[in-house]
Amino acid sequence: MSKMILASGSPRRRELLRQMGLSEFEIRPPEVDEGFPSGLTPRETVEYISRKKCAAAAETSAPDEIVVAADTMVFVDGAPLGKPADEADALRMLTLLQGRGHLVCTGVSVCGEGRTLTESESTEVFFRPAGREELLAYIRTGEPMDKAGAYGVQGLGALLVEGIRGDFYNVMGLPILRLSRMLERFGIRFLN
């Protein structure tokens, strides 16, 4: 089997790869500008960034290595919400999300064997109404500060989520079913 490289420093993505049964992989987060051209759809945006991350990590990889890169963003009314700059920004984002739905998109790219596959997954997430004091208490936990949209569905942020339509793991940052199907095209098999 080819050596796998995870082009991400995300502990959640690491955990999800292990959940898929992949225990042997190297973590190699690339340094890339995560900017993107204007006018892209949410899916095109995360696919563009994941391709950039994958290409940057692939530059230093060996011919027998398979690189996996992902980018997750939250979109409200088509506008992206990245990671909050500070606590005030986290409050702005969480206030915008509460009591309504939003879209979580993850672009996934797999590079190796002289080719790159890029796909994306979209999931609708619905927040319950929450008051300012509750949102501030959540922000004080520190959990929102390194997450797109200022929340983590796998942590205390789950207390704000009323419902999810689509892939739960996508909201965590890595759509594992989609990724498993992509990796099968590189000869990496699961459940057999």
Active-site annotation holds for 71: yes
- Number of residues that this document lists for the chain: 192
Helices 87-97 and 132-140: crossing angle in degrees, nearest 10, is 130
- CA–CA separation, 6 and 84 (whole Å): 24
Q: Where are the alpha helices (DSSP H) in 29-86?
A: 42-58
Non-local CB neighbours of 36 within 8 Å, separated by 6+ positions: 45, 48, 49
Of these residues, 33, 71, 86, 89, which one is catalytic? 71
Non-local CB neighbours of 171 within 8 Å, separated by 6+ positions: 104, 123, 125, 153, 164
Cα 28 to chain centroid, rounded: 16
List active site positions: 71
